[in-house]
Structure 1
Amino acid sequence: MSRHRLVKNLDLDNELDDFEGGKDYDDTEEEISEADKEHLRAGTLEVKEMLGDAANQVSEKEIQDSLWHYYYDIEKTVNYLLGVAERRNKVEQKKKKTGCLSGSETALSFAKFSGDSTLFNIPVERQSILVAPMTPTERPQSGPLEEKPKMSKLQVLAASRKKKAQEQKAGSMELISKDVKGLTINGKEDAVRKQIPERQDVSMEPNTAKQPARGFPFRKRKDSNPHEKSPKAPSPRPKKPEAQEDMPMEVPVVMKAEPSAFANTMFSSTACLTDTASLFTMLYVAKPTNTADPFSGPSPDDIVIAAQSKASSNKGGKGPPKTNGEKKADQIANGIEAMKLDNTPRATSKNLEVLKEYEKAEKKNEANFVVIGHVDAGKSTMMGRLLYDLDVVDQRTIDRYRKDAEKMGKSSFALAWVLDQGTEERSRGVTIDIAMNKFATSKTKFIILDAPGHKDFVPNMIAGAAQADFAVLVIDASTGSFESGLQGQTKEHALLVRSMGVQRIIVAVNKLDTINWSQDRFDEISQQTSAFLLSANFQKKNITFIPCSGLQGDNIVRKSTEAVFTSWYTGPTLVEELDNSEPVLRALEKPLRMTIADIFRGGVQNPLSVSGRLDAGSLQTGDALLAQPSGEKCYIKSIDLDEQPVPWAVAGQHITLHLADIDPIHLKIGDVLSSPASPIKNAESFTAKILAFGFLMPMKVDVHRGRVHVPGRVKRLVGTLDKTTGDLVKGKKPRVVKPGMVARVVVDLDAQVPLESGMRVVLRDEGETVGSGVVE
């Protein structure tokens, strides 16, 4: 088959169907998702609130279109809509200025524009009757002024009949002509002119025949004869030179009726019309004959409300206030104020006195401790053994973890997996983020904060230390491991927890079973560690050493049965030492402060939930909160403590808050929730008393506060401080602060961070901690 025949026999429909852009192509617009609708709704409310009075100048559709265009960027949307509202205000102001002008030039131009209209001074007997527009006052003529078209007999007869009818009703005559100007009927033009009110004389301007006239086109007649000229001109005209062929035309005398009742109601009270009536002619400028205020009486709604109030008062109920038609301005204002609704729905609150309720409640002591130490010191394994021996974790779970660990060739990590739940943590065998768990003894409820020991995850360790009341320092007693740890994260972690405000520390000397429970090794580790902790400003009475074995469980919950060990140690176990810790004083009387540790979806009824430690103050269901640094307000729907709903919470507790009336984009981990009455302020610069871990000078640093870390720079070194008195050492300002010295420095931040006096901060540079201290 030839090629042209093959092309000729092609079925185009089938070929187009096979094309991907054929039937399968759909150019319909994709429907907006529910999430986008929710963003648009929340964004619309926020934009209207930020626009304020300018929100009346833009429509809701324009707001949503702008939000969609700017990808829900509230600031850009508000700036764009403010520009739109400003332009519209300028247009309205321009209209108001030009709509009520005065002056001869404006009057003349308006009269020229509307001089051919007949809606002027409609007679009383013809009110509410619309008069058809007159013919244009100006038409092009090819001949001289004397040659005017002659009226037909039928037109003359119709005009005569109309004249007689008007004389019978009102005693006046109105001349109506659509095609002929300056028409005189029966020589009574003077009588017609006398009946026109003087204030409605329009100013006449000469127009040439070549100028196009407004209105209907002129229709020439074949049998045109000059009309009878009027003996009296309505206004003097200047003489034109004989050489000029185009002659000005006379403006016809037009009868103008009084405005109708509807026109009087709508336009008679307009200041613009009454003030300029003597300057130029406008539609419906006649003063109304009926001066009664149509709005003076009660409205239909007032009548209904008054009837309902009367009926309810007869029954003894309380109804709306009575209205007798004499509403005053203050009454109307009070009514409008009563109708205002709070756009922000609030959760119900029982208005409890939380501190008194806390004193009445019979609860155990609560304490949070962070587990710190060098990498591979056995921190997670020790805490897993503690939870297993206290029956917090059942045997079935441990067996499953052990089976999974053996498949990966890490059978000894089964206990560590109780806290290390992440896939990456289990595959690498190291803790990455803060792992949290809880247990209780006969006296105290404890929350474990297992911190990572690797140097790459020191920021996560700082986040755990910021929530702890005291610390458990785990040391590997194996040969060589203690020495390497003391030069590594053991030393850094101890310095960090002390600078974060931790005063009590328990040193757990782990893995003593690997060295046959050697007392000499334990004493050596105790002496070196104690000397270091004392130099880090820990008090001797707050330092305790506990020998143990995390893998075997000796001296963790139960006492060891090893004869070698029991021969030289008779002290408490690790849990007993934890239980002997004194209760920590809580900042119950201080303003509310809570740092967000996690943000998640709490369920269908709680789409936005946050968890964290309540640092200071107290709260209850229904309280309003202020999230910083975003500055957004929200409300507490409910509170969970230990996965159980509670009506209130106090400082020191790890709680979960289910929030309402705030978008998740305004919250992030590390933000601080406070009371709107005493909010925490955002800072871009602060002065702090810093203990130097390394050489400190004006330099770029990363500022860490809990889970927040923001780039910044040390702007200025104010001076060094005396460690004993805390006073500023007099002398020259230092250029460099050496390790171990305390200095007052000024730090600038690249972003706003919620900070206040007394908060703890850490300064790090290129993965190394250079200092930590307290904000002044």
Structure 2
Amino acid sequence: MSRHRDIRNMDYLDDYDGYDDVYGHSVEDDYYISPSNRQFIYNREHSTRSSEGDIKEEDESEAQLTDLEKTKVESCIDQIKETLGSISISRNDLINMIMKESFNVEKIINTILETPRVQPEPVKEKVNIQSTTAQSELPTIKVVSTPKTATNVTKGFDLPQKEARPPVLTPRSQSPSSDRETPTNLPNVDASEDLKTPKIRENKLDVQQVYQKERGDGKEHLYMVVIGHVDAGKSTLMGRLLCDLGQVNQRIMHKYEQESRKLGKQSFMYAWVLDETGEERNRGITMDVGRFQFETDTKIVTILDAPGHKDFIPNMISGAGQADVALLVVDATRGEFETGFDAGGQTREHGLLVRSLGVSQVAVAVNKLDTVAWSQERFNEIVAKLKAFLKQVGFKDTDVTFVPCSGLTGQNLVSKPTETELISWYDGSCLLDVIDKFRSPERPVNKPFRLSIDDIFKGTGTAFCVSGRIETGCLTVGDKILVCPNRESAIVKSLAIDEAPQAVVFAGDQATATLSGIEMQNVSVGNVLCDPTSPVQVASQFQARIVVFNVTVPITKGFPVVLHHQSLVEPVVVSKLISQLNKSTGEVLKKHPRFLGNNTSAIVEIKVSRPIALELYSECKELGRVMLRVGGVTIAAGLITKIIL
């Protein structure tokens, strides 16, 4: 080490004549041949490479961009290259153009294609050089222009014929490539008449056409959430429906029957089709959202069996957020219906929640009607109460259907009833036909891509998977996406629906995506995947128009609540009460009210402890809805009207 320290202290700028003798000297000698630190450092003054100033100038525009803008720029550049191929525009100019056009790829490509072409310089034809005897004088070059001859059109540029070139400048010995003076500073584009209307989307996905091609001929896919008070028989009803449709193996059902009989819970054998965990079977209640799929004549229906117990309302909200339609199950047994429907029961709360989450169609299965001897009076009594309530919540009469049935006996589920007492007064559709008549909602496939994450798990290999409902747009394998609110980019390696691989998925699908290019710990449940060129908004403060339900304590300024936004659960504070509104007309009744009581409507400002991904209700209904809960009770639902950045 001492040797090297001595070497660094040497000054090799001084003349020394004894270098031939010092080779091989020991560390005790006075001089060594290792270079000094000043000699070793690269001298930029004598370098022919670009100076630091030039380098900074080249990257100046890109250095000023934020991480989000850099991601969007990279996505735009990839799309431009896919459409135009190689381009000769510098990266700096391209970035400036992208920022000027606000990341609109079609406008950028149009601008590139409509840029005036640089014409080649005129060929210097007859060249006469008059030499002089004086050495100090430079030769005089005289250019004589000649009329332009016939040309060939290659790649859109006018190239002179070989005959027009003077033999002095194009000798025969030259290679054929030298006959052509193709400018190198022009974009590599085709110069046909079609440039005025370029086919920008030639290499892009025409979403509507692909959607019609992929899904147009098949059955419509419908997601149905099953809701209702605890012990209303939701899982048993759905399990019996699946068994009667042949979706469950008879051997498995025999196994469930034997096991449930040993536990003294034989009536739960059909519920075990959807309640698969040991804890759910031991406790006899649904705790998480169960999933199963069956087909009707015109639809493929995915059941989302939501828990009815009040302790698992967050799981129910997560399931209802994925649903297109709802099946509300009520217990017709005397006393049981009243328990679920009266204040504190989940029948009312579930009805409020699904309507607030955007579900507009509901079928009501009046279950266990066999316990009251198929009484028409009992059925009519339940229908009258529920019809008034559901209309008050916001459901239209034409979008609500009531079906008498029994999940345990299987009456009126997949075929017409056979019970004499029921046939005597009911001649309507069975439950399967009612489900088949549900209207499929319109899928917003043309909007920018949005996916709300409701589960994260480790996949095969080094990648990991996220699953959730695609709210808007479409997603294909290989797409670049942005994970918000962290605003980190990732690449989609594969896609699947119900474990079946897919090349493309659309709005309304419950899909699983395998991601790469991002760490698993940087992704959370409640995050939103979005298109980098049109990212979702991220903010920690927003205004919402809410409807207050039954509250024991009035909502005041600074009131702490729990926010439910899709799968996201976040503590928030009602920071301002802006105005109280008329529930019917939306007219402002009072500005800056002191509190909000039961059954009131208002515009409030909500502050979140950390930024979250959200959208205005007017732009994206799916991501513009929120729920407010306190102490395990839903106290309000609202629509986002303004995002405060």
Query: Considering the TM-score relative to the shorter chain, is it more than 0.5?
Result: yes
**1:305-353 deviation line (CA, Å, top 9, x unaligned):** xxxxxxxxxxx9x9xxxxxxxxxxxx9xxxxxxxxxxxxxxxxxx9543
* Match of residue 503 from structure 1: 360
User: What do you get for the CA RMSD once the two structures are aligned?
Assistant: 3.3
**1:694-716 deviation line (CA, Å, top 9, x unaligned):** 23323110001122111111111
Q: How far off its partner does 1:430 sit? A: 0.7
Q: Which of the numbers 542, 548, 556 marks the counterpart of 2:413?
A: 556
* Match of residue 228 from structure 2: 373
* Match of residue 608 from structure 1: 464
Higher-strand-fraction structure: 2
Q: Which amino acid aligns with 2:346?
A: Q
Aligned CA distance change for structure 1 residues 639 and 351 (closer, same or farther; 3 Å):
farther
> How many residue pairs align between the two structures?
467
* Match of residue 741 from structure 1: 600
Q: Which amino acid aligns with 1:634?
A: A
Aligned CA distance change for structure 1 residues 129 and 612 (closer, same or farther; 3 Å):
same
* Match of residue 669 from structure 1: 525
Q: Is the 8 A contact 2:207 2:446 kept in 1?
A: no
* Match of residue 283 from structure 2: 428
Q: Is the 8 A contact 1:591 1:617 kept in 2?
A: yes
Q: Is the 8 A contact 2:578 2:591 kept in 1?
A: no
Q: Is the 8 A contact 1:622 1:635 kept in 2?
A: yes
Q: Which of the numbers 242, 248, 260 marks the counterpart of 1:393?
A: 248
The alignment status of 1:353 with 2:206, answered yes or no, reads yes
SS in 2 for 1:676: coil
* Match of residue 505 from structure 2: 649
Q: How far off its partner does 1:360 sit? A: 2.0
SS in 2 for 1:615: strand
TM value normalised by structure 1: 0.56
Q: Is the 8 A contact 1:118 1:132 kept in 2?
A: no
Q: How far off its partner does 1:772 sit? A: 0.8
**1:181-228 deviation line (CA, Å, top 9, x unaligned):** xxxxxxxxxxxxxxxxxxxxxxxxxxxxxxxxxx99xxxxxxxxxxxx
**1:476-512 deviation line (CA, Å, top 9, x unaligned):** 0001011111011101111111111111111110000
Q: How far off its partner does 1:435 sit? A: 1.1
C-alpha separation between the residues in 2 aligned to 1:536 and 1:673?
Answer: 32
**1:389-418 deviation line (CA, Å, top 9, x unaligned):** 111111111111111111221111111111
* Match of residue 17 from structure 1: none
Aligned CA distance change for structure 1 residues 433 and 665 (closer, same or farther; 3 Å):
same
Q: Which of the numbers 264, 283, 292 marks the counterpart of 1:409?
A: 264
Q: How far off its partner does 1:267 sit? A: 8.8
C-alpha separation between the residues in 2 aligned to 1:603 and 1:271?
Answer: 50
* Match of residue 77 from structure 2: none
Q: Is the 8 A contact 1:118 1:131 kept in 2?
A: no
The alignment status of 1:685 with 2:545, answered yes or no, reads no
Of residues 350-359 and 563-572 in structure 1, the stretch that sits farther from structure 2 once superposed is 350-359
SS in 2 for 1:513: helix
The alignment status of 1:364 with 2:258, answered yes or no, reads no
C-alpha separation between the residues in 2 aligned to 1:470 and 1:118?
Answer: 85
Aligned CA distance change for structure 1 residues 734 and 553 (closer, same or farther; 3 Å):
same
* Match of residue 560 from structure 2: 700
**1:46-105 deviation line (CA, Å, top 9, x unaligned):** xxxxxxxxxxxxxxxxxxxxxxxxxxxxxxxxxxxxxxxxxxxxxxxxxxxxx9xxxxxx
C-alpha separation between the residues in 2 aligned to 1:421 and 1:445?
Answer: 22
Q: Is the 8 A contact 1:640 1:655 kept in 2?
A: yes
Q: How far off its partner does 1:130 sit? A: 4.6
* Match of residue 491 from structure 2: 635
C-alpha separation between the residues in 2 aligned to 1:119 and 1:446?
Answer: 85
SS in 1 for 2:588: coil
C-alpha separation between the residues in 1 aligned to 2:639 and 2:576?
Answer: 16
Q: How far off its partner does 1:643 sit? A: 2.3
Aligned CA distance change for structure 1 residues 128 and 513 (closer, same or farther; 3 Å):
same
C-alpha separation between the residues in 1 aligned to 2:48 and 2:321?
Answer: 69
C-alpha separation between the residues in 1 aligned to 2:12 and 2:331?
Answer: 108
The alignment status of 1:768 with 2:623, answered yes or no, reads no
The alignment status of 1:483 with 2:377, answered yes or no, reads no
Unaligned runs of 5+ in 2: 1-7, 50-174, 178-184, 186-202, 618-623
Q: How far off its partner does 1:641 sit? A: 2.2
Aligned CA distance change for structure 1 residues 377 and 267 (closer, same or farther; 3 Å):
closer
* Match of residue 717 from structure 1: 577
* Match of residue 311 from structure 2: 456
* Match of residue 94 from structure 2: none
SS in 1 for 2:257: helix
Q: Which amino acid aligns with 1:453?
A: G
C-alpha separation between the residues in 1 aligned to 2:337 and 2:576?
Answer: 38
Q: Which amino acid aligns with 1:637?
A: K
Q: Is the 8 A contact 1:119 1:131 kept in 2?
A: no
Q: Is the 8 A contact 2:468 2:511 kept in 1?
A: yes
C-alpha separation between the residues in 2 aligned to 1:379 and 1:531?
Answer: 22
C-alpha separation between the residues in 2 aligned to 1:294 and 1:502?
Answer: 70
SS in 2 for 1:585: coil
C-alpha separation between the residues in 1 aligned to 2:243 and 2:439?
Answer: 25
SS in 1 for 2:407: coil
Q: Is the 8 A contact 1:696 1:770 kept in 2?
A: no
**1:234-264 deviation line (CA, Å, top 9, x unaligned):** xxxxxxxxxxxxxxxxxxxxxxxxxx9x99x
C-alpha separation between the residues in 1 aligned to 2:385 and 2:47?
Answer: 98
The alignment status of 1:521 with 2:411, answered yes or no, reads no
Q: Is the 8 A contact 2:580 2:591 kept in 1?
A: no
C-alpha separation between the residues in 1 aligned to 2:355 and 2:42?
Answer: 80
Q: Which amino acid aligns with 2:447?
A: K
Q: Is the 8 A contact 1:509 1:548 kept in 2?
A: yes
C-alpha separation between the residues in 2 aligned to 1:271 and 1:456?
Answer: 71
* Match of residue 305 from structure 1: none
Q: Which of the numbers 377, 384, 387 marks the counterpart of 1:530?
A: 387
C-alpha separation between the residues in 2 aligned to 1:638 and 1:118?
Answer: 62
C-alpha separation between the residues in 1 aligned to 2:555 and 2:419?
Answer: 49
C-alpha separation between the residues in 2 aligned to 1:765 and 1:294?
Answer: 70
TM value normalised by structure 2: 0.68
Q: Which of the numbers 612, 616, 620 marks the counterpart of 1:757?
A: 616
Q: Which of the numbers 564, 567, 591 marks the counterpart of 2:424?
A: 567
Q: Is the 8 A contact 1:405 1:411 kept in 2?
A: yes
Percent sequence identity over aligned pairs: 41
C-alpha separation between the residues in 1 aligned to 2:586 and 2:301?
Answer: 34
Q: Which amino acid aligns with 1:507?
A: V
Q: Which amino acid aligns with 2:399?
A: N
* Match of residue 192 from structure 2: none
Q: Is the 8 A contact 2:490 2:517 kept in 1?
A: yes
**Deviating 4+ runs (over 6 angstroms):** 267-272, 293-296
SS in 2 for 1:691: strand
* Counterparts of residues 79-478 of structure 1 (less than 5 Å): 120-122=14-16, 130=22, 352-361=205-214, 362-478=217-333
Q: Which amino acid aligns with 1:741?
A: T
Aligned CA distance change for structure 1 residues 368 and 271 (closer, same or farther; 3 Å):
closer
**1:119-138 deviation line (CA, Å, top 9, x unaligned):** 94346xx67555999xxxxx
Aligned CA distance change for structure 1 residues 529 and 266 (closer, same or farther; 3 Å):
closer
Q: Which has the larger radius of gyration?
A: 1
C-alpha separation between the residues in 2 aligned to 1:767 and 1:703?
Answer: 12
Aligned CA distance change for structure 1 residues 431 and 120 (closer, same or farther; 3 Å):
closer
Q: Is the 8 A contact 2:322 2:510 kept in 1?
A: no
Q: How far off its partner does 1:750 sit? A: 1.5
Aligned CA distance change for structure 1 residues 266 and 589 (closer, same or farther; 3 Å):
same
**1:437-476 deviation line (CA, Å, top 9, x unaligned):** 1111120111111111111111111111111111111110
**1:8-28 deviation line (CA, Å, top 9, x unaligned):** xxxxxxxxxxxxxxxxxxxxx
Q: Is the 8 A contact 1:354 1:619 kept in 2?
A: no
Q: How far off its partner does 1:642 sit? A: 3.3
Q: Is the 8 A contact 2:368 2:406 kept in 1?
A: yes
Q: Which amino acid aligns with 1:443?
A: T
Q: Which amino acid aligns with 1:591?
A: P
Unaligned runs of 5+ in 1: 1-98, 100-112, 134-214, 217-259, 273-292, 297-315, 319-330, 332-349
